[in-house]
Each structure stands twice: as structure tokens, then as C-alpha cells.
Amino acid sequence: MKPVIDRRIKFRHIQCFVEIVRQKSMKRAAERLFLTQPAISKTLKELEEILGTSLLLRNRAGVSLTRQGEVFLQFAEMSVAALQQGIDGVQQVGRGERLSLSVGALPSVAARLMPEVAREFLELAPEVNLRITDGPHGYLLDLLRRGSLDLVIGRLGQPEAMKGIPFTQLYDEYVEFVVRAGHPLLADPDMRRIGEWMVIYPPEASAIRPLVERVMIAHGVGEIPRRIESVSGAFGRNYVRSCDAIWIISAGVVAKEISEGSLVRLPFDTSLTKGPVGLMARPDSQPKPVEQVFRLAVKNAVAALEV
């Protein structure tokens, strides 16, 4: 059973504490909140008495946090930010503003998860204009960093690419080797033979490229002389169905085609390509209130698809 929050703690207690820390001064915090210094001191004392511990130390330089104050500050700041987001959201709706959310989706997500996410999200927030952009990993992260996208859903990239990007894992995904039904390699599946046919291979900037190269090394596959580098779902689906090419791609991109039988998974061990798919947010930015609704829609869609 979860502990009950002490109802004596009011928003004014949290707001005063956060502002004192931000201003590093009781006097300046009082001025910012249009309170007297005795009033803000009394409010802080009440909070410390309720919690049963000292949160701040007074000194000549102003104030400093105790160990307990450092812990409480994290949650106090989140509470203030969450309330402000709620107020902003209510005000936007009240003014009849058309809200918008821009989301990037990597190919595997765009094909499998994003349609369900969009349906779920627009049921929860029908007044929001949802903009979806698909593309390769590097391209979408660049748009995210520049503020052109609010969120990106896709595979966790390499450490250097993900620097500063908050990532929330949703599920794990593998890479598949797929071919058309009746492909000659299905009669004698051997990964070392894939070089005998044209291969659609993930490009250098894609998140799955290093994982695919690990699998190749593990299975003794040498240089592939004939290959097209692409993660385009539209191109891959049409090209592979019309010839004997082999397509190396994230499972989500071809999940529908495999279930329908228009494409067939080669029975290769690709466990080394297992990797997390998740939500990526802008670095160092306050999320929009509508992003919380979108995250709920993603959670519901993942549960419905059992990915």
C-alpha cells in the first residue's frame, strides 16, 4: 500500500521552497512571490516541521540545501513544473487554440506502431494537430535537436548520437533478413550465401548498421559485393517482392508483410541485433502538456500490439 501524502503540505509550501532555492535568498524569493520576508520564513518553517527535517541552512551568503533538501528539491521542482503545464494546457484549450505536436518515427515504428499510436492519441486529444515525420535515425535526431520535432520514436542509437537526448524504453526489437516467398535461399538457408544475391543493406547512419555488422562477423559473412543501402520501407517492400534480393531491416518494418505471407523471414539467428525502441525527447527543454497525453497513447498502443 502506497503511503498517503501529508495533506498539510500545500502548493504554497512547495512554491516558496523552490523559489528560495532558485533565488538563493529569502528576501529575493519573497519579492518574487509578492510576500513579506516573515511570511516566507513562516511558510518554510511550516514545511520543515511537516517533513520533520531541515531543508535549508541560512548563512551569510544566503541559503544552502541540506542533504534532505537536495532530495526534496527534485520532486518539488517536478511538482511545480507539472502544475504549470496543466495550467498552460487548460488556458490553451479555453482560448480555443489549435494545439500541435510534431513527432518523428523511424521506419520500423512508422510501419507498425505509429498507426495505432495516432488512432489512440487522436481519440484522447482530438483537438490536436498531429504531425508525423519519418526518416533515418540521424535525420530525425537532427530535427529533434533543432526543435523541429517534439519527440522521436525509434531505436536507441550509438552513444555519440544520443548524447544529451532523454530516452524512455518501450520494447525490444530485432533485425530480420527477409525475402519473397519461394526465394531459392529458403531451400538451403545459410547466411554465408547472401552475397550470391542483391542485398538491401542498412546505410552507415542507421541505428541498426553496427548491429547488422556484428551478426555478419559472428556468422562468418564476408564482404557483400552487390548491395543497395537503404532503410526505405516503400522501396524495400516493392523491390524484394519483384526479385530475389535479400532485405536486412528492423522487424517492425516488415511485420505486416510477414504475417500476410507476402514476405518470408529467413531462419537466421539475429539475437545479436536485439535493441531497445523508445521515446526520445528534446534535450534541455520543458515538455508540452500535450506530450504527456501522447506518451499515454504510446503506452496504450504498445500494450495493444504486444510488441
Burial state string for 96-133 with b = 16 or more CB within 10 A and e = fewer than 16: eeebebbbbbbbbbbbbbbebbbebbeeebeebebebe
Which band of pLDDT confidence, cut at 50, 70 and 90, is reported for residue 89? low
What mean pLDDT do residues 91-100 have? 61
Regarding whether 34 and 157 lie in a shared domain, the answer is no
221 domain-assigned: yes
Query: 196 and 143 in one domain?
Result: no
Lowest mean pLDDT segment, chosen from 93-102, 138-147, 260-269:
93-102
Q: Do residues 185 and 248 share a domain?
A: yes
- At residue 3, the pLDDT reads 45
246-256: average pLDDT: 93
Answer whether residue 92 shows pLDDT above 60: no
Q: What is the mean pLDDT of residues 277-303?
A: 84
Q: Which helix (H) or strand (E) holds 137?
A: helix 137-145
Number of helices followed by number of strands (H, E) in the chain: 12, 12
Predicted confidence band at 14 (pLDDT cuts at 50, 70, 90)? confident
Same domain, 29 and 164: no
Asked if the model's pLDDT at residue 306 lies above 70, the reply is no
Least confident of 12-16, 85-89, 200-204: 85-89
Average pLDDT, the chain: 87
In a domain, 218, yes or no: yes
Final residue before a domain boundary, out of 46, 65, 94: 94
Q: What burial class does residue 243 get, using C-beta atoms within 10 Å of its C-beta: 0-12 exposed, 13-18 middle, 19+ buried?
A: exposed
Flag whether 4 is in a domain.
no
Q: Distance between CA atoms of 246 and 211, rounded to whole angstroms?
A: 17
Out of 54, 72, 94, a domain closes at 94
Predicted confidence band at 108 (pLDDT cuts at 50, 70, 90)?
Answer: confident
280 membership: H or E segment, kind and range: strand 275-281
Share of the chain above pLDDT 90, in %: 50
Per-residue pLDDT reduced to its tens digit, 114-168: 999 999 888 888 878 899 998 888 889 999 999 899 999 999 888 888 888 999 9
Rounded to two decimals, what is the model's pTM?
0.63
Domain limits for position 61: 11-94
pLDDT in tens, 214-250: 999 999 998 898 999 998 888 999 999 999 999 999 9
Evaluate whether residue 2 is within a structural domain.
no
Residue 104's CATH number: 3.40.190.10
Residues 73 and 141 in one domain: no
What CATH number should be reported for the domain holding residue 15?
1.10.10.10
Does residue 3 lie within any of the structural domains? Answer: no
